[in-house]
Amino acid sequence: MNWLQKLDRKFYRLAVPHLMVILSAAMLGIYLVDLLLPQTNLISLLSLDRERIFQGEVWRLVTFIFLPPSSSPLWIVFALYFNCLIGEGLENQWGKFKFNLFYLCGMVGAILASLITGYGTNEYLNLSLFLAFAAFYPDFQVRLFFLLPVKIKYLAFLDILFYLYSLVFGTFASRMALLLSLLNVLLFFGSDLFHHLKQQSGYWKTRRNFRKYNR
């Protein structure tokens, strides 16, 4: 039994079921309030702002996860639907506790990045969920904007390109936010990735030796 299984058995009852459905509903509510009552500055009040946190507004350490992913009416509907789809898929694959822990690790990474650099966002945290979903369901087909059928692995490839672009051309703050928000992916998939690379290395080594002795 690995450490994740031990934690799951011990804290399973504390996990929140349908986490992404709840978060997406909150994001939609905040989006509507900001749209209809912009004078409230609600998004500004909930954002991950290091200076404000140091001034005592500690709720921002949690509330930033409720910020909607877009200000576009068309994109917000698709993005929130996608969040629910991904969240439910990962929760079915892992169980509610393991999925909660995955999200929590991403939250901690985003918070650390904000405290180090002053740049706070939930963007990379949400993208990490997408990568995890694509790892389990690479051939799952979604309809982009409810119209275009696309396999999730192709969208994941574009996601990875976005990550690489941000690492190469982004600011120090955005790089830190990206890397630390992906700690959950490394924590949950790092071992599998290591074993895969090890197997591939052994395969190519065997192939080279075979060619060497059969010349």
Q: Tens digit of pLDDT for each residue in 94-124?
A: 999 999 999 999 999 999 999 999 988 898 8
Q: Does the pLDDT at position 91 exceed 90?
A: yes
Q: What angle do CA 182, 79, 107 make, to 5 degrees?
A: 30
Q: What angle do CA 92, 103, 79 make, to 5 degrees?
A: 75
Domains by residue range for the chain, with CATH: 16-213 (1.20.1540.10)
Q: Does the pLDDT at position 211 exceed 90?
A: no
Single-letter code of the amino acid located at 62: V
Q: Tens digit of pLDDT for each residue in 33-83?
A: 999 999 999 999 999 999 999 999 999 999 999 999 877 887 898 889 989
Q: Tens digit of pLDDT for each residue in 136-153?
A: 888 998 877 667 888 888
- Spatial distance between the Cα atoms of 30 and 42, rounded to a whole number of angstroms: 7
CA atoms within 13 A on the CB side of 83: 29
Q: Does the pLDDT at position 189 exceed 90?
A: no
Dihedral sign computed on CA atoms, order 182, 119, 152, 105: positive
Q: Does the pLDDT at position 195 exceed 80?
A: no
Task: Look at residue 168 in the predicted model and tell me its pLDDT.
Answer: 87
Task: Look at residue 5 in the predicted model and tell me its pLDDT.
Answer: 79
Return the exposure string of 95-134: e unless at least 16 CB atoms fall within 10 Å of the residue's CB, then b.
bbbbbbbbbebbbbbbbebbeebebbbbebbbbbbbbbbb
